[in-house]
Structure 1
C-alpha cells in the first residue's frame, strides 16, 4: 500500500510546490483542513480583470499526497476561472470516490489513481482544489461588494 501511494512521482511533486508563499494582500483566502490526517492548506489569490487567477500563494502543511496535489494545483492555477476550478475540484472528488473513471482535464491528477482505494487519503488530496475554488469565490464576492 505505502509504496503504491507514495511513489517517486508523488514525492517529486511534493518536494516542488510552486507559489509556496502566502500573498501579502490577497483578494481571497481559504484555509482547509483534513480532520482525518491533520493536513492543513491555505490558499491566497489575486484575480485579474476577468476574474481569473493572476497571482497565487499557498502554505502547505500536509502529507506527501496533499503536497503533491498542491503542487499540481499550483502549477496550473494561474489564468484559471472559478468555473474551471470548480470543475477540477468536482472531477477530482468524483474520481477519488469512484463515481467517475477519469480525474478530468487538470494535468497530472491521474497520479492519484492508486489512492482511490484508500478513502482516508482522499480529504488530503482534495484540500488544494477545495481551497483554491473557495479563495477565488471569496475574492470574486469581495470585488463585487
Structure 2
C-alpha cells in the first residue's frame, strides 16, 4: 500500500461509493466488467428532460476503480447523455496519452499516477463507461 497509486485521497474516495445505492426503479441499468482485473461496476439511472436525474451504483473494483466511479457519481447529476459520453471519451484519451490535466472532470487529477499503469485503465474507466451507456439507453 506504499505505492503512489494508493494515496489517502484515493482510499477516501473509494470508500464513498457505498453512499450510491442501486435505484429501485431505474430507466436503465448497465453492468461493465474489466476482463483484465475482474472489476465490476453496475449503474442504474433515471433521466428527466434529457438530463441525468438519479444515479445508483454497485462497485466491486479496486481502489482506483472505486475512486473513479465515486468522482463520476459526484458530478454526473444534471448532465446530458452527450456530456457524459464526452467525459467517458476524454477520460480514455487522458489515461492513454499520459499528458495534460483532466480539466474535463473535477477531482480526476488524483488518479494521475495511474496513467503509468495501463493495466489499471480499464478499471478506472468502468464507472464512466457504464453511466454513459445507461443514460444513452434511458434517453433513447
Runs of 4+ in 1 over 6 A off after TM superposition: none
Q: Could you state the TM-score of these two structures normalised by the residue count of structure 2?
A: 0.94
Q: Could you state the TM-score of these two structures normalised by the residue count of structure 1?
A: 0.91
- Once the two structures are TM-superposed, the CA of residue 100 in structure 1 deviates from its matched residue by 5.3
**2:32 aligned residue:** 32
Q: Provide the C-alpha distance between the structure 2 equivalents of 1:44 and 1:115, rounded to a whole number of angstroms.
A: 27
Q: Provide the C-alpha distance between the structure 2 equivalents of 1:24 and 1:17, rounded to a whole number of angstroms.
A: 17
Structure 1, unpaired ranges of 5+? none
- Once the two structures are TM-superposed, the CA of residue 114 in structure 1 deviates from its matched residue by 0.4
**1:84 aligned residue:** 83
**1:58 aligned residue:** 57
Aligned-CA RMSD value: 1.5
- Tell whether 2:53 aligns with 1:41: no
**1:69 aligned residue:** 68
The count of corresponding residues between Structure 1 and Structure 2 is 140
Change over 3 Å in CA distance of 1:85–1:52 after alignment to 2: same
**2:110 aligned residue:** 111
- Say whether the 8 Å CA contact 1:28–1:136 is kept in structure 2: yes
- Once the two structures are TM-superposed, the CA of residue 104 in structure 1 deviates from its matched residue by 3.8
